[in-house]
Amino acid sequence: MNALLQLLALIRKEFLALLRDPRSRFVLIGPPIIQLLVFGYGATFDLNDVPVAVYNPDRGALSRQLLARVEGSPAFHLIGEVESEGHLRRLVDERKAMLALSFRSDFSRNLEQGRSAPLQAILDGRNSNSALIALGYLRNILIEFDQEVAARHNGPPLPAVLKVRAWHNANLASRWFIVPGIVGLLLLVVTLVVTALSIAREREAGTFDQLLVTPLNPWQILVGKSVPGLLIGLLEATFIIAVAVLWFEVPLRGSLGALYFGLLLFLLSIVGVGLMISAISVTQQQALLGAFLFLIPAVILSGFATPIANMPEVVQWLSYLDPLRYALVIVRSVFLEGADASLLLHQYWPMALIGGISLLAADWLARHRMY
Amino acid sequence: MNLPGRDSRRRLHGMVRKEWLQILRDPSSIAIAFVLPVVLLFLFGYGVSLDAKDIRLGLVIEHMDDQSRDLAGAFVRSRFFQPHYYRDIQPAQQALTERRLDGIIWLRNNFSRRLQQPGPAPIGVLVNGIDANQARITGGYIQGVWFGWLEKYARAQGHKLDAPVQLEQRVWFNPAVNSRYFLVPGLIAIIMTLIGSLLTSMVIAREWERGTMEAMMATPLRIPEVLAGKLIPYFVLGMFGMLLTVALALWLFQVPLHGSFATLFLASALFMLVALAMGLLISIVAKNQFVAGQIAIIVTFLPAFILSGFIFDIGSMPAPIQVITYLVPARYFVAIAQTLFLAGDIWPVILPNLGAMALMLLIFMAIIRRKANKRIA
């Protein structure tokens, strides 16, 4: 009973230390909200209004019809027609156009007489991923256009066509992929910084020694330092999930229990890593550096923006150490696939393991690293 | 008359020396400047790739005959796919659910018959849409194989497949469409943002917290001298880190540098100053290291990662978000770095971005001066 009261007092003190200063309070609450909105809208692989420049010396109707389709697609935006191919090239060079279409003067005549007509497309490969996506959109427009032209001029129809269906995300909206990912990303950032600086701050202020000579045993100290991070993390998680569902309208198809159980384990693993960093560091600057050194690879290797499957084998092994990797699978599966706890077992236990080991390590380090 | 100038130089010299000693004594600054960029570039350069490889493709062929074997063969021969054969759709769908497959091609048992009949025969394609970008890339590869097969099939039937419009596509600056070529220059920008602002964000907050700022104020040092004294050593450190990452990009990741090294150096130096000034500003505003650290993490890494155009296309973001990207210094350097590395010294791209960075630096310095002065009054 006494131990519990002591623990509660310590937790209370930790909360006070975190929330006393209005500026520290603000950095815990304001930025996650702003970031969620800004990144939720900003981070998308879908292309809108790709600037397209056109050189079209063809006087016929068919090139006009094709251009009308390009303009009609929300992905493209015609920035204008130019008088020469040289001008077209310059627009791509200067990044004013991502796609440049160059027709020949006999484009319409060839098509009308049942011959094929070349169409040149130049793409800015400085972001080759966007270039490939834009090319995909253009090809889809052309396939439809081709079939119509063929039908009108009695050409042979295509013998076989692809009927593509995308599971869980029929329109392939990349926001549905990114926004659940931001849940994991922001939780990682907030919780890690809160816990990573907690012991280091006391060390630098000299109060950690005082804490050690109180009747609290090291485990109580560790638990007292973990609880604020966990609680703040859970509250923010709830808020972010609500915004994802209500504001961004990402479907939440699975069980909330499975989601929260996963997030709890995720937070536990971050708290463990954070306290471990904090226990090693002597100054807050070192703790912050440590947090950064963990945070950045954790984001990059998690599969947040680029798939883990594309990484070399060795880097993929490394990503097994990354708690965010598992959290992202859980969040995305529960949101989009409607997964329940039984499907996510293989994501749960590695995080529990990372959390357990890092907490043990933090305990050992906090006791053995005395100055 | 030149006495004050000489004094100022002497004071500045002393200040730089003090900072330098402080840096040397605490190994964490050195680690930030030298070890961090190398480790990060290694990890990112290898870890960040958008090029799908070995896509696990389930080939469901309900009835094996010449036509379906021929089409399946086209997928097997493509270097993008790792094929797995199935006789029925159920086990393949199960595998897609359990993420043992990335996509499925489904040829029903009447596929060959439908090919002979008028009207197109359907080829079923299923992909897991959770990662929409990968799904789209996979779809693009499948389309490519399908189109190649169509041409071959038409030839076998004795006529040429004349798709009316023959698309001749060229991807400029990166014809092999290697995503690493554009990601690595962008990574340099992100890494430099981190290093620049991490190096300085805590240095003044630390002086306030420890009370040494007041001690420094009692000396004849003027505010600009204190600021310059803080910036110069970290600038030198940061530029060494910068050179290291560029060297790695060129020799380890084999990214071509089409522009001139001088332009790259100039742009990096300016960008380094902007990043350092940003860190300095954070550390003056925050006054304590906890807040300074939080702000540094919030305004540097994630915005540079998401809003700089490094990986997500800025032009496709909603207009208000595009406005916000103008506040992210990495945006300008990413544009310069991608152009310099892949396209060359294209001044109409480089100059406006250089100008924006210079303007940003001026604004940061002006705010820093005002904030710093206020404190003293």
Tell me what pLDDT residue B1 has.
41
- Which range has the top average pLDDT, A53-57, A164-168, A217-221? A53-57
The verdict on a CB contact (< 8 Å) between B167 and A50 is: no
The whole-angstrom distance between A125's CA and the closest CA on chain B is 5
Q: Is B374 a residue whose pLDDT tops 70?
A: no
Tell me what pLDDT residue A267 has.
96
Which of A96, A123, A152 is at the close of a domain? Answer: A152
- Tell me what the mean pLDDT of segment B7-29 comes to: 81
Question: Are residues B301 and B321 part of one domain?
Answer: yes
- Tell me what the mean pLDDT of segment B201-205 comes to: 72
- Tell me what the mean pLDDT of segment A162-171 comes to: 86
Question: Are residues B350 and B245 part of one domain?
Answer: yes
- In which residue are the tokens 């068919």 written? A62
Tell me what pLDDT residue B2 has.
46
Has residue B171 been placed in a domain? Answer: no
Question: Are residues A238 and A362 part of one domain?
Answer: yes
The verdict on a CB contact (< 8 Å) between A162 and B51 is: no
Tell me what pLDDT residue B160 has.
66
Question: Are residues A209 and A353 part of one domain?
Answer: yes
Question: Are residues A324 and A225 part of one domain?
Answer: yes
- Tell me what the mean pLDDT of segment A204-224 comes to: 82
d(CA A246, CA A238): 12
The residue with greater pLDDT, A362 or A371, is A362
pLDDT band at A184 (very low <50, low <70, confident <90, very high): very high
The residue segments making up the domain with residue B346 are 23-49+178-376
- Is A164 in the B-facing interface, judged by CB distances under 8 Å? yes
How long a stretch of residues is chain B?
377
Question: Are residues A230 and A127 part of one domain?
Answer: no
Tell me what pLDDT residue B161 has.
64
Number of domains in chain B: 2
Question: Are residues B182 and B135 part of one domain?
Answer: no
Query: Which tokens is A30 given?
Result: 């304001």
| Candidate from B39, B140, B168 with C-beta closest to A118 | B168
Give Cα separations from A319 to A361, B40, B48, B284, B354 (angstroms).
Answer: 20, 14, 12, 37, 37
The residue segments making up the domain with residue A71 are 50-152
Q: What secondary structure does DSSP assign to A298-329, as a single string?
A: HHHTTTSSS-GGGS-HHHHHHHTT-HHHHHHH
In chain B, % of residues over pLDDT 90: 33
Question: Are residues A186 and A306 part of one domain?
Answer: yes
What is the chain A residue with the closest CA to B307? A42
Number of domains in chain A: 2
Question: Are residues B108 and B42 part of one domain?
Answer: no
For the question of an ipTM over 0.90, the answer is: no
- Residues in chain B with CB shorter than 8 Å from the CB of A180 are none
Has residue B13 been placed in a domain? Answer: no
In chain A, % of residues over pLDDT 70: 98
Tell me what pLDDT residue B123 has.
92
pLDDT digit string (tens) for A118-131?
999 999 999 888 99
Tell me what pLDDT residue A116 has.
84
- Tell me what the mean pLDDT of segment B265-271 comes to: 94
Q: Is A347 a residue whose pLDDT tops 60?
A: yes
Tell me what pLDDT residue B353 has.
96
- Which range has the top average pLDDT, A25-39, A295-309, B186-200? A295-309
Question: Are residues A327 and A178 part of one domain?
Answer: yes
The verdict on a CB contact (< 8 Å) between A285 and B96 is: no
Mean pLDDT of chain A: 88
Question: Are residues B104 and B141 part of one domain?
Answer: yes
pLDDT band at B373 (very low <50, low <70, confident <90, very high): low
Mean pLDDT of chain B: 86
Coil, strand or helix: which one is A157?
coil
The verdict on a CB contact (< 8 Å) between B52 and A309 is: yes
Q: Is A371 a residue whose pLDDT tops 70?
A: no
The verdict on a CB contact (< 8 Å) between B313 and A311 is: no
